[in-house]
Structure 1
Amino acid sequence: MGRDLFGTDGVRGTANTHPMTAEMALAIGAAAGRYFRREKGGVHRVVIGKDTRRSGYMFETALTAGLTSTGMNVLLLGPVPTPAVGLLTPSMRADLGIMISASHNPAHDNGIKFFGPDGFKLSDEAEAEIEVLVKSGVEPARAENIGRAQRIDDGRFRYQERVKSTFPAGMRLDGMKVVIDCANGAAYRTAPDVLWELGAEVIPVGVTPNGFNINAECGSTKPRVAAETVVAHGADLGICLDGDADRVIVIDEQGRVADGDQLMALMAARWAEEGRLAGGTLVATVMSNLGLEQYLAGRGLRLERTGVGDRYVVEAMRRGGWNLGGEQSGHIVMTDYATTGDGLMAGLQFLAEMVRTGRPASDLARNFDPVPQLLKNVRYTAGRAPLETPAVQDSIRAAEAAMGGRGRVLIRKSGTEPLIRVMAECEDEALLASVVDGIVAEVERAA
């Protein structure tokens, strides 16, 4: 079964350009509705959330039309974080959850992410079967069986209460000053409300979405403004989310950024001390820094690596019975609390450790010295396959030989954008730059 539509996290692309067109969203909605609709009796539900992109209105309407045409009842949540869809799908006894978002991508992109009735993202196999239905078309429901759509007003509040319940009982954030950067995205109301209700003095950034400014010079991929705000206000911590709030990075009181690897190191060590880290194992992707692996090994803990994408992290966690995982980019998955990455929950875990220990963020956000790592992206034209050219293959082999076991090289095609990602790690920074630049040059020629 083909997977031309689906990447590492659902369907994604530039709005009004294949595959992210209204016509395709209609077909995808009908195919997903047919795939998930039970054949015997009962009510068939799907919950749909979205972030703050202007194109979200178009895709919400098109998906709703496709889904209701196959007899699914649609529950529209409006702007909510991606993890809220993962939570509310099983809570509201839905057959399917859909999040309309391109996560950290710019406003002109959008995407469609799917969650099964258990609240976890769909498997590759399920997505492939839906794609077959998209290509073959589906028979609509009889007129008397067409579904209905309705707005759900309290979805955001249900999610907020769930997030607050993950904060240690009896603990408060009174006296703490927190900068929260919501990337003008899905958590622009949720995240400040949760922090304020837990007692913090909240300084919001990126909370004025206009449909076109999501992730624009703000959020987890552009933390400069948030870092400057932390320093200017003398804040204790900065929390930066991405457009759909499933990623987080933190900023210490000195304005320094800590990525997902540092957060996972802190949490894994703490959970292990408390006997909460299942199997003594943290799950992370091949992108996580070698320093994280060394830090865990020094504490008798294990790092299980997966392919890139939080969905693959979660799948490995479920197979192995592990409860903590994530990505260097800031997806932090805690299956004791949530079915997917949750930036706000992870931020609260960091704040809880600050309160518990009385230590400043700068002490907690630097748990290991990263091995020098260099990542460069090369954009390519759709339809080309630059990684398959002999010159690129030769350059990769030459780079690995040059490393001589002193580091590692990782070259991969992005599953969400037309990019080739060239990454290497090595203590010798001159060699590191030479290796990456050499591969990048060949990929650019091929692209």
Structure 2
Amino acid sequence: MTMTIGEDLRAARRRAGVSLGQLAAMTGVSAGHLSRIERGEREATPAVVRHYEVALAASPVPLRATETPHSRDPEPGTVDDMKRRGLLSVIAAASVGVATGEPLTRLLDGLSTEPPSLVGLPEVRAVEAAADLYMRMDLARGGNAATAMARGSLEWAVKLRDRPMAEPVRDRLNSAIGLLADRVGWATYDQGRLEPATRLLTFALDSAARGADRDLRAHTMLDLSVAFADMGRPNDGVEILRMALGDERISSAERANVHAVAARHCASAGDRPAGLRHIGLAEEALARSEPAVAPGWARHITVSPGHHDSALGLALFQLGEDARARVRLGAALERLGENRTRTGLRCLTRLAVLRIREGDREGGAEQARRAVVLASDVQSARVAKDLRMMIDGVRQCGMPELARELSGSPAAV
């Protein structure tokens, strides 16, 4: 339609669902002036008509007053002209924050980056860097935004597999993909989405097993076992870890980690003697541990300060070894870095319960309140579950008023 009079301008504006106020903001022309033009009280000049066309993506009209013989604008009615006017319309709407979602998302078309025809170490290092960045972000706070970023990196990394590369490069790429997938899977588990997490972690395990990093394979199996245990299948979790422990090539540090988590699963399965045996084996492995030979990713997790104390403390708490648990959990809290927020909270919730059980109600209440405050800034289904466990423990210890107070925290929901 060619817009030549005010009635046409008004009809086009209404079809586009744009108010006079919005159009005024887009064009810089007052709403009162536009209203008079639409009512026929003022002349619809070529400049005003062009304002409408750009803002509403309407069909153009010949504007003899503004045409130049050297204009590079597309011919009216062509596909290029339609694209141009559509984009100008979106830009005009976006300039005042009234663009609709669908046209805006079209601006992102074509951003997907295809992998190179030949994969080398630069691409592998890029995947490793993405995994390292995401791991640090996730360990600190978690959250959906970081997970979405990691998924994009993972999708691109998986495409690299189909490209030709040297075998040493392929081994390293498989380990990098395995690490990134493990971290995404673990974050998905931490959000309480157990079934998608097990699928992602199984994919991560397959990738890690194709690479040369045996500790990564074992750690991925550990994460997978935790997901199974939380689905009410702790015996399956123990079985997965037995497979991991069958690999003699894993480091003593990771072996200790696996034994500590196996002890926790045994406690959940009601097999306390087996759990205590795994505790002993974890402590033996720690005595032989050589952190200097651990892979780079393990320095954020397995061999980071306080990690083994936290893993053993959680298991001992589950096994009912309160005195030993308190020592380990206390040591973990003293040593854990600022980037291990969720692990620190898991230790703190249990220490609060232990102190109250031992008769230090004031100290335990202080720790419980501190845990609730710290958890308010953390997105984690595990931490929320731990808070509920702590509140139940407080209630069972005869402190119902404190339990009610703590239950009011949104983090415990």
The TM-score normalised by the length of structure 2 is 0.30
* Structure with greater Cα Rg: 2
Structure (1/2) with the larger helix percentage: 2
Higher-strand-fraction structure: 1
Q: TM-score, normalised by structure 1?
A: 0.29
Higher RCO structure, 1 or 2 (CA under 8 Å, sep 6+):
1
